[in-house]
Structure 1
């Protein structure tokens, strides 16, 4: 993967973890305004997930990098995003646009983090769809660790 500088979210946590990965996936946007993107097509997405917290878990991790890969890469790689339960063809708030895919990735990660003893927060998902187009998603309310 190419080294890249990502926009950094402001936070006061002691630890910040960033995980880069890429995945290949197809999708389509079921809306007239999507133009050619209404047709099934694919991308090699590049993602960066930023997680932060003040406490490490019993193994000394904020969160294991492997877990992030299992939650996101293994779920979306070589699939059709429209087929995932988080997306729909009926509600534009759940079309698999880059914006919504980034939001869903953050929600999937946060749902997992909420089950951990150290309760870190997913602060940001950077998702590049093409070499010239990307989205940064940050949850509106910054969480604090317990």
Structure 2
């Protein structure tokens, strides 16, 4: 993966961890306004996940890098995103657009983090869909980030 500089979210936590990974997936946007994106097509998505926290776990990690990749890569790699239960062709707030995929990735990661004793937080997902198109998703400031 090419070195990439990502937008740095502001926070007051002691530790910040970033994990880059990619996954290949197809999707379509079931909306008349989506133009060519209404047809099934694929991307190699490149993601950067930003995790923060004040406490490390018993292994000295904020969170294990491998766990972050597994949560997303094993679920979405070489799939049709529209077939995943987290997306819905009938609800525009659940179409697998880049924005909604980034938000969904953040939610999956945060559900995992909430189970950890040191309670790290996912504060940013950078998701590149093409070489020229990407989305940055951040949960609403103050939303359970203490």
- State the superposition RMSD in angstroms: 0.8
> Does residue 1:144 correspond to 2:145, yes or no?
yes
**2-side partners of 1:82 and 1:62: how far apart?**
32
The structural deviation recorded for 1:34 is 0.3
Aligned residue number for residue 90 of structure 2: 90
Provide Cα deviations, 1:55-79, integer angstroms capped at 9, x if missing partner: 0011111000010011011111100
What SS does the corresponding residue of 1:85 show, helix, strand or coil? coil
> Does residue 1:107 correspond to 2:107, yes or no?
yes
> Does residue 1:128 correspond to 2:134, yes or no?
no
What SS does the corresponding residue of 1:112 show, helix, strand or coil? helix
**2-side partners of 1:47 and 1:64: how far apart?**
16
**2-side partners of 1:127 and 1:120: how far apart?**
20
The structural deviation recorded for 1:141 is 2.7
Aligned residue number for residue 77 of structure 1: 77
Q: Number of residues paired by the alignment?
A: 145
Aligned residue number for residue 56 of structure 2: 56
Structure 2 unaligned residues grouped into runs of 5+: none
TM-score by length of 2: 0.97
What SS does the corresponding residue of 1:129 show, helix, strand or coil? strand
The structural deviation recorded for 1:144 is 3.4
Provide Cα deviations, 1:14-63, integer angstroms capped at 9, x if missing partner: 00000000110000000000001000000011000000000001111100
Aligned residue number for residue 119 of structure 2: 119
**2-side partners of 1:38 and 1:140: how far apart?**
29
